[in-house]
Amino acid sequence: MSKIIIKNLNKSYGDNKVINNFNININDGEFIVLVGPSGCGKSTLLRMISGLENIDQGEIFLDDKLINNLLPSKREIAMVFQSYALYPHMNVFENMSFGLKMEKIPKSEIDQKVNNAAAILQIEDLLERKPKQLSGGQRQRVAIGRAITRSPKVFLFDEPLSNLDAALRSEMRVEISKLHKKMNSNIIYVTHDQVEAMTLADRIVVLNKGNIEQYGKPHEIYSDPNNIFVAEFIGSPKMNIIKINKEHIANSNTLHLFNNKITFDNLVFKDEIYLGIRPEDIILESNLEIQLEVKIDLVENLGFEKIIYSKVANNQIIIKSSKNIINNSLKVSFSKNKVLFFDKYKNRIR
């Protein structure tokens, strides 16, 4: 287990600022997920930690040791890439042992490390196969096994499941989570998939244009987002955001919402605001405080769950429900206690 501290990290490509004053402390054995849209700086950050990318400004410490100027091979960090990067002419054993051979590790130690990693990943029977004889999930296990053999202090995963189909991604999420529990190592994991982030992470870093929008435990980020960006990015389907104009503010803490007059204690409304409500918090045919009738555009039938796309007063409302839908319109309601508010700058009002 190891402690990682990143201080005031910055990276630019010309005039394009990719990472902006990034600061984070990672505790022993933590599983940290960096999540955000494409181009937000996730992979660049991972490459700077690994030593594959130069740092413009800032410091990276591993166990209180500054590693900025260390070669990648000297950082005690192993990286698993989006592409499996396996040598096609080598079998699984040779792929997993290649780095160790380059370090001139004794053969007996190499055999032990590869066999131990293969046992952890349950690929002992694949050691003689070539990559072309493996499925996508098996290739990813080999790539992870190659990292394990190096006995690193930190594992870096750069979108390792993006090339797999949905069923295999789900299976590999479970395997990576089990691996973390077995090895109790630090993992920094990059993804744009918020489901991966929510299910794997001890803590999540939500990135946007090189900036940390929020850093916390999955349930904290889901239930208490700092702003609309985080609120919409975390959660599936995304949170409904409805703009409330000044004319709908009755007084400092009372709103006219879809023919409902609702008072919110301990809140003050002065200007236009945004209301947020999660699809799973909208209830069909119920008598909660905020009631409205919606017109249905589309229903996605996912078996037990239905995702209902609807409209009310030019606002799209997404609803998640287990009930069957037979009409073109619905009466729905939600509790005022489930509502989040954001100011005109899209930051959370608390």
Summarised one tens digit per residue, pLDDT across range 117-149 is: 999 888 999 999 999 999 888 998 899 999 999
pLDDT level of residue 162 (50, 70, 90 thresholds): confident
Q: At 84, is the secondary structure helix, strand, or coil?
A: coil
| pTM confidence score | 0.89
The residue type of 44 is T
What is the structure's pLDDT at 319?
Answer: 96
Q: How far apart are CA 346 and CA 82, in angstroms?
A: 33
Average pLDDT, the chain: 92
Give me the domains of the chain, ranges plus CATH numbers. 4-233 (3.40.50.300), 240-349 (2.40.50.140)
pLDDT surpasses 70 at 1: no
Summarised one tens digit per residue, pLDDT across range 247-305 is: 888 888 899 988 889 999 888 888 899 999 999 999 997 889 999 999 999 999 998 89
Q: What's the Cα-to-Cα distance from 116 to each of 1, 145, 174, 183, rounded to whole Å?
A: 18, 9, 20, 12
Q: Is the dihedral of CA 55, 58, 64, 69 positive or negative?
A: positive
| Phi, psi dihedral angles at 214 (to 5 degrees) | -165, 150
* Range 232-260 average pLDDT: 90
Q: At 280, is the secondary structure helix, strand, or coil?
A: helix
Q: How far apart are CA 35 and CA 175, in angstroms?
A: 20
Q: At 111, is the secondary structure helix, strand, or coil?
A: helix
Closest CA to 201 of 221, 182, 183: 221
